[in-house]
Structure 1
Amino acid sequence: MSNQLVIRNMTRPELDELVEWAAREGWNPGLHDAELFWATDPAAFIAASRDGELIGGGAITSYHGEFGFMGFFIVRPEYRSQGLGNTLWHARRERLLARLHPGASIGMDGVFAMQDYYAKGGFVFSHRNLRFRAEINERPTTSQADDQDIVPLAAVPFDQVIDYDRTCFPAPRATFLSGWITQADALAVGCRREGRLSGYGVIRRCREGCKIGPLFADDALAANALYARLADFAQGGPLFLDAPENNPDAMALVRQQGMTEVFGCARMYLGPTPAIAHERVFGVTTFELG
């Protein structure tokens, strides 16, 4: 046996273990996150082990080589402050760069306390993504006209969902979306105006309550109508939404809905900042896969 740190691809059971660590850290994973994340990109999950024991891991998701995302970075508490996490983080960054086309950007949502560390690794701050919480005891109000625009996302052709999502996310992600919008213990709805998709959102059950993500919409009216329908799914428990601070309408939505800020991350990029419709992003999909 050796004390040497081994960095390698993770096995599927190890991803389940990583999700359990995330739950203990208070990350509140979705009930089906492990299977959905794995189906998106099995090669994304990197393990660090010593003496055959898993001590850390993280995701380096590649979206067709066009955009990468680093997330799900965890080291077991008893192995922290020994330089092992530093070795794992840099190994993940280099592995992800090798999986991407030249010039492709990498995104990440890092806790504020680690922002300077990630900056030393080449990442540049873009904006804050803030987690908000609400206790849903009754359905939020919205106008009847706006509510009539909301339809089950299954009623919308999938190619329209892919096309709309691409305006809000830096690369196509059809494989991810095909599972995400049809997962169990979840609801996916769209906003359709004059036959055109003008926004969509997904809510999934988590270890505690529910999370909305993504929440993409043309404007505040569509976003609020989507939020109201999704929040109805979460009645009786807490609801979480990760809203980008660089969209003033998203900040107005969380204030209007009486949500309370409980956590936050710094969105940072290695490489050019992606050219997406930031004004359409009212809620990011996940802190783990982007």
Structure 2
Amino acid sequence: MSQLTIRTMLPEELSIAVNWAAKEGWNPGINDAALFYLADPNGFFVGEVDGEIVAVGSAVRYDSHYAFCGLYIVSPAHRGKGYGLALTKHRLAYCEERNVGIDGVLENVDIYKRIGYVPYYQNKRFQKIAQASTKSGAITEVREEHIPAILNYDLQCFGAPREAFLSAWLMQEYGRAVCVLENGQVTGYGVRRKCQQGYKVGPLFADTPDIASTIFRALQHDISGEIIILDVPENNGSAVKLAEAENMEVVFATSRMYQKGMPNVDSDKIFGITTFELG
């Protein structure tokens, strides 16, 4: 078997990983390549054999305590050769002593357990056709002036700073971001991004189920008839109830796993995760 060489991914090569993700049926966002890179420009890797990229994966270090691995794909022609495990070990070494999270495909949970991951709950992908609803006056379209308050609110739910990524994620082209403000304070926000098929909402963070529902309905109001997707953590029962009340159906699921335990976040406020790739 030829030797695998692992190196940091070049910015222009992230589109390769996103294209592979599309072929795997992951339905990436049309801006994902550029925006993902902002999360940690040094945290994306390729594995090469004889100059050919055969494996890709990310390991985003958010701060000195937390990292998240994702975007892990081995090209079909090179699976079963140990390249994926070698790349995974390299990514974990890059994470150093941080707590590392993943959203692992269910059929590979036992493999992830063997390298130190522990499953905690499932994130379930819910999908439906968007419907218009009565507009709510409580909704505010996110503008640049709201970003500092949203970054602060985000820390309650994500547990680590992600200023460069989230600032761009909120303002992405063909996307929409809304928030709810009460007495000048953010009590919830959500982002919708255009994907190769339909739209995904994520994150969807809110103080209460009613606020989350208001945000989710606002984010589908202007795309009635299009596919809309929400990745819901099952450890928040209110989030699952919201998706079910919207008559959404589960089409996919992952296992949220961590190396060093659950992060200290307010799970009751998480109604939709940001992405399977970045946590």
Q: TM-score, normalised by structure 2?
A: 0.97
- Pair 1:115 & 2:115 matched: no
8 A contact 1:140–1:257 mirrored in 2? no
- Pair 1:139 & 2:132 matched: yes
Q: TM-score, normalised by structure 1?
A: 0.93
Q: Aligned AA for 2:105? A: V
Q: Aligned AA for 1:6? A: T
Distance 1:222 1:50, change over 3 A: same
Supply the distance in 1 between the matched residues of 2:183 and 2:144 (Cα, whole angstroms).
14
Supply the distance in 1 between the matched residues of 2:222 and 2:106 (Cα, whole angstroms).
31
- Pair 1:18 & 2:13 matched: no
Identity of aligned residues (%): 38
Q: 1:180 aligns with which of 169, 179, 196?
A: 169
Moved more, 82-91 or 50-59: 82-91
8 A contact 1:153–1:188 mirrored in 2? yes
Supply the distance in 1 between the matched residues of 2:223 and 2:207 (Cα, whole angstroms).
23
Deviations 1:156-190 (A, max 9, x none): 53221111000000201111111000000000000
Supply the distance in 1 between the matched residues of 2:213 and 2:188 (Cα, whole angstroms).
11
Residue of structure 1 in register with 2:34 after alignment? 35
Number of positions where the alignment pairs a residue of Structure 1 with one of Structure 2: 279
Residue of structure 1 in register with 2:64 after alignment? 65
Supply the distance in 1 between the matched residues of 2:133 and 2:65 (Cα, whole angstroms).
38
SS of aligned partner of 1:228 = helix
Supply the distance in 2 between the matched residues of 1:213 and 1:251 (Cα, whole angstroms).
15
> Which stretches in structure 1 are left out of the alignment for 5+ residues?
none
> Which stretches in structure 2 are left out of the alignment for 5+ residues?
none
Alignment of 1:93-172 (within 5 A): 93-97=92-96, 102=97, 104-136=98-130, 138-140=131-133, 147-154=136-143, 157-172=146-161
- Pair 1:283 & 2:272 matched: yes
Supply the distance in 2 between the matched residues of 1:178 and 1:169 (Cα, whole angstroms).
14
The structural deviation recorded for 1:275 is: 0.7
Q: Aligned AA for 2:74? A: V
Q: Aligned AA for 2:88? A: W
Residue of structure 1 in register with 2:255 after alignment? 266
For the aligned residues, what is the CA RMSD?
1.4
Deviations 1:2-49 (A, max 9, x none): 921001111122211111110011000001000011122110101100
Supply the distance in 1 between the matched residues of 2:93 and 2:38 (Cα, whole angstroms).
23
